[in-house]
Structure 1
């Protein structure tokens, strides 16, 4: 991921240095397991643990060897071997490259997902605060971009909160299912290893044993990580798109933060554009694209090929890094969100009270009017109200067919937007309990 969209924790996590440090961590766990099985003497293990390291000199030697070998794991093994020449025969003993790469990758993805889940928790807390604070902030609900019926801004935030809770559940499941390593050799048959070595080493690393591996950990696990991240990113795009719509000049109900000194356009000094919400949307599209590649990495040839390897060097760091970035960016948007409550009320008035058509329809049905006839009666008044730009309540009150069943006072009560929100407490209780 480019530096513009990379925060420090993920820059460090996916650095070459960190990758080799984790490879070394896996190798040392295997050495300790061999020691427990009596294959590596105590003195040799102690010297290996004391001497091996990944520093700038090590990175230079890895780069040197890789130019010759065209194989990064062998380059790593040779570079570490230089640090323990008399004990190098104990290092990488019985392992195949994917044992190290896939097990270390599981450690990286665990850390990445834990960081992402921490950010999701921060977002959930912010959304909960907004949902409670804006619970009674009435605004127009829209379908197809057209006025429908009144809702509250808090209810919109509550919807986002509940969706992010589902995303959190998916991310936690993905974390559980990626927490597997394999140290089972070339095609997963332990031909030069012992299953006990794998168990001991993975236990030390905090990973579970892949029950049936080939030369690799099956890639459906990695695809699930991208699936969980992809859905979460798409949710953020949904929320950001809503903010973008509500920031349009013609709507003007919400506005993302615009800081002092910020400029919106090189040509038009008046512009305040929803650039951060748009950035969330753009990067969410990128993340979803990586899911396609992750799915295509699942069907490999026989016990493995490496067509997945080059793709994963891009999609896994980039997807997790971008997800971390847009989560934090969206939290910043919410922290500085500008809410124009007066504009929300004025916008409701643009449709002359037509949002009450459903309530008038139902009340007529309750009075015994057949549904089709009631629908035609209400629709005729609604069209007249819209075409003449007159208050829906006034048009209803003048209509003789309507007045046979409804009084003027009943009509006024049906127009009151608060009547649409009488059950909001039930929704809040389902989501937040007694909060």
Structure 2
């Protein structure tokens, strides 16, 4: 389709991955009837399946490197998605803070649910997310706008992602030049 980027490479990657996954079934299917009697019924399977799997993996990884080499982050689009959906991700934290301030969990859950559904309907109509404003304006909700915004730092919702990425990169054992070429990790 004309609007897709890298469709042929991505579709080739998918096709090669499917070939490798399907080929991986050859070994257990052969073993299921072979009884490990040192027969030759698996020799053709080995001669074809193993080299093809390595070649297909190599081709898929090369295509993935080409696609990944051209990736770029559209920061404005990411910022908009965060602005639209972070309020929904934060509802559990808002609920817990409301309970800490003396609110009834069931009642606060219902308030958040009701406002979340209304904000979602509004977004489906093309309007921006107004969940936070709805909650701040609700007299039955124990947090005001400033208290709500204080709980909405996007970095607080990344969990261990940065730590896991650092550990993964360390496990790659890159040389100094390769490591220096990587962009810094920021949250």
| Common fold by TM > 0.5 | yes
Structure 1 residue runs of 5 or longer lacking an equivalent are: 1-264
CA separation in 2, counterparts of 1:350 and 1:280? 32
Q: 1:292 aligns with which of 16, 25, 36?
A: 25
Q: Which moved more, 1:391-400 or 1:354-363?
A: 354-363
1:273-299: per-residue Cα shift (whole Å, max 9, x none)? Answer: 433222212211111111111112224
TM-score by length of 2: 0.72
Q: 2:137 aligns with which of 385, 391, 398?
A: 398
Q: Report the equivalent of 2:154.
A: 417
TM-score by length of 1: 0.34
User: When the two structures are aligned, how many residues end up with a matched partner?
Assistant: 165
1:102-121: per-residue Cα shift (whole Å, max 9, x none)? Answer: xxxxxxxxxxxxxxxxxxxx
- Write the mapping of 1:275-424 to structure 2, written as runs, cut at 5 A: 275-298=8-31, 299-300=33-34, 303-351=37-85, 353-389=87-123, 390-402=129-141, 405-421=142-158
Q: Give the drift of 1:395.
A: 0.4
CA 1:392–1:416: 2 relative to 1, 3 Å: farther
SS at match of 1:401: coil
CA 1:361–1:431: 2 relative to 1, 3 Å: farther
Report if aligned partners of 2:86, 2:154 keep a CA contact under 8 Å in 1: no
CA separation in 2, counterparts of 1:428 and 1:422? 11
Q: Give the drift of 1:329.
A: 1.6
CA separation in 2, counterparts of 1:428 and 1:322? 27
CA separation in 2, counterparts of 1:387 and 1:380? 11
Larger radius of gyration: 1
Q: Give the drift of 1:323.
A: 0.9
Structure 2 residue runs of 5 or longer lacking an equivalent are: 124-128, 171-184
CA 1:301–1:429: 2 relative to 1, 3 Å: closer
SS at match of 2:38: coil
Q: Give the drift of 1:406.
A: 1.2
